[in-house]
Amino acid sequence: MFIIDPNRDYQKQTESRVVIRFQDCDPLRHLNNAKYFDYFFNAREDQLPKIYGVEIMDLIKSYEAFWVVYNHHIAYIKPANLGEWVRIVTRLVWFDKNTIVVEYLMLDDYKSHLKTLMWTTFKYVGMDNSRTTEHPEQVAAYLGAMKYPGVNYDPKLFDERVREVKHLVQTEV
């Protein structure tokens, strides 16, 4: 189970370096649009245990609830190409009593160009009745410890966030 250490500053984002695989590409050698989801979700799933020392399955078993995808906002800005190394950055940008929003970025290997930005909304659902349920206090503390600061989350402002991140990436090089 995840116990928050009040004396620890928890990392607010994850980062993975991955190569774009042949089997995930279309005939133009671009990453297939549907495969971005796999790359994003796999990167986050691989990084969370390393950073926070907890497996998602342990949280699911402990609280008999899990997060299910509710919706996505995605912007494909530049293609990811066959054999290209990319960086995937993920961060929790918002949560409330029964919902979380994770932001996913795909950047070139040098982090100089934003390729894709996605917001995924997840609802917390009980295993017993498959209905939305509230985050237990310990889970809310876990989410609070990992929340990335400074993102003005509002689904209507997604395009604005894309422009903002694109600008940040270009100016940080």
Q: Is residue 110 part of a domain?
A: yes
For range 131-153, the mean pLDDT? 94
Does pLDDT of 167 surpass 60? Answer: yes
What is the widest separation between alpha-carbon atoms in the chain? 51
Total tally of structural domains belonging to the chain:
1
How high is the mean pLDDT of the chain?
A: 93
Q: Domain containing 25 — which CATH number?
A: 3.10.129.10
- And the tokens for 105? 């970025």
State residue 45's pLDDT score: 92
How many Cβ atoms sit within 10 Å of the Cβ of residue 134? 13
Q: What is the amino acid identity at position 4?
A: I
Q: What residue numbers bound the domain in which 103 lies?
A: 14-171
148-171 burial, b if ≥16 CB within 10 A, otherwise e? Answer: beebeeeeeebeebbeebbeebee
Per-residue pLDDT tens over the stretch 75-84: 999 999 999 9
Least confident of 2-11, 30-39, 110-119: 2-11
Q: Is residue 154 part of a domain?
A: yes
pTM, entire model? 0.94
Does pLDDT of 135 surpass 70? Answer: yes
φ, ψ (nearest 5 deg) of residue 11:
-60, 140
Q: Is residue 8 part of a domain?
A: no
Model confidence band, residue 2 (pLDDT cutoffs 50, 70, 90) = low
Q: Is residue 2 part of a domain?
A: no
Q: Is residue 3 part of a domain?
A: no
Per-residue pLDDT tens over the stretch 55-109: 888 888 999 999 999 999 999 999 999 999 999 999 999 999 999 999 999 999 9
Does pLDDT of 51 surpass 90? Answer: no
